[in-house]
């Protein structure tokens, strides 16, 4: 565990920082005295959270309302933080809240999911990770999913994108850790967030607590390359060890139980 997160740098950038796990990361970092850049699509929740954090913790908070799938969005993020030392990057955008067979849904949905979960984290990690390497300090958390452990019906593109996230985190950790930069692929299961509740309702047991997921990510940032949160490490190992058809069938049944 890193005893003082401010040693990574004065600011943290959270992509997908307006609600759910992202907002929980923000509250915990603000309590630790880390200034924040919160980036998400919806301006109102961002501003409301910023007001809350400034009042509660006295940290500086910048908000950046961006559709990260839009052309030029990453460049806007860079420009908005050029005057800051971003010591912690958290890529949390890109949860799946719409379920369906890949070939029966618009291709644009799949392209947006790939943009949020593959292109955006890759671009952000390249920019901010490069600066961290130069300073020889910093941290990157890429929020992944148990869905990334195998293919899965109804969320085929999301599962594939989260598989990329975990493998990317592993390679990035191998490259940056020798330079004093922590990288963590934080693998979480189905988590009770406003976005998921809007998609499937509130009457589901067994969903992980969003604040607990954020806590585990920060507590284990220096234990990369991957931390499987919520006590799911043995389940993740089991899924990966199964014959692939069995793994896909099991994961698909789990997803179906959420949406039925």
Nearest alpha carbon to residue 141 among 232, 227, 237, 37: 227
158 carries an active-site annotation: yes
Tell how many helices (H) and how many strands (E) occur in the chain.
Answer: 10, 9
For the domain 5-259, what is the CATH code? 3.40.50.720
Q: pLDDT value at position 93?
A: 84
pLDDT band for position 242 (cuts 50, 70, 90): very high
- Partners of 58 in the β-ladder: none
Please give the model's pTM, rounded to 2 decimal places: 0.95
Angle at the Cα of 119 (from 117 to 124), degrees rounded to 5?
Answer: 95
Nearest alpha carbon to residue 95 among 258, 260, 245: 258
The widest CA-to-CA distance across the chain, in whole angstroms, is 52
Listed by start position, the domains of the chain span 5-259
11, 25, 128, 158: the catalytic one is: 158
Residues 64-106: pLDDT tens digits? 999 988 889 999 999 999 999 999 999 998 776 789 999 999 9
Query: Which of the given ranges, 82-96, 197-211, 228-242, has the highest pLDDT on average?
Result: 228-242
The SS3 call for residue 114 is: helix
> Do you know the residue count of the chain?
260
DSSP of 41-71, one letter per residue? S-HHHHHHHHHHHHHHH---EEEEE--TTST
Distance CA 52, CA 64 (A): 16
pLDDT band for position 214 (cuts 50, 70, 90): very high
Q: pLDDT value at position 227?
A: 98
Spatial CB neighbours of 43, under 8 Å, sequence gap ≥ 6 = 63, 65
pLDDT at 203 over 60: no
Q: pLDDT value at position 225?
A: 98
């Amino acid at each position: 565990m890193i005893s003082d997160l401010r040693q990574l740098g004065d600011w943290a950038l959270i992509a997908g920082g307006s609600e759910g796990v992202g907002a929980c990361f923000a509250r915990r970092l603000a309590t630790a005295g880390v200034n924040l850049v919160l980036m998400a699509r919806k301006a109102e929740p961002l501003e409301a959270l910023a007001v809350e954090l400034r009042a509660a913790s006295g940290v500086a908070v910048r908000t950046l309302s961006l559709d990260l799938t839009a052309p030029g969005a990453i460049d806007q993020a860079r420009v908005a933080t050029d005057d800051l030392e971003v010591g912690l990057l958290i890529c949390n955008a890109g949860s799946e809240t719409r379920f369906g067979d890949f070939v029966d849904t618009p291709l644009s949905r799949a392209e947006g999911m790939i943009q949020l979960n593959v292109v955006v984290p890759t671009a952000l990690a390249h920019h901010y990770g490069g600066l961290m390497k130069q300073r020889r300090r910093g941290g990157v958390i890429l929020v992944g999913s148990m869905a990334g452990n195998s293919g899965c019906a109804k969320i085929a593109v999301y599962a594939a994108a989260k598989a990329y996230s975990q493998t990317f985190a592993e390679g990035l950790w191998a490259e940056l850790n020798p330079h004093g930069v922590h990288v963590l692929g934080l693998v979480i299961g189905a988590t009770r967030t406003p976005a998921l509740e809007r998609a499937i309702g509130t009457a589901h047991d067994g969903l992980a607590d969003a604040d607990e997921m954020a806590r585990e990510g920060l507590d284990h940032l220096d234990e990369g390359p991957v931390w499987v949160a919520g006590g799911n490490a043995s389940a993740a190992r089991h899924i990966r060890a199964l014959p692939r058809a069995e793994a896909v069938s099991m994961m698909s049944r789990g997803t179906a139980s959420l949406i039925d």
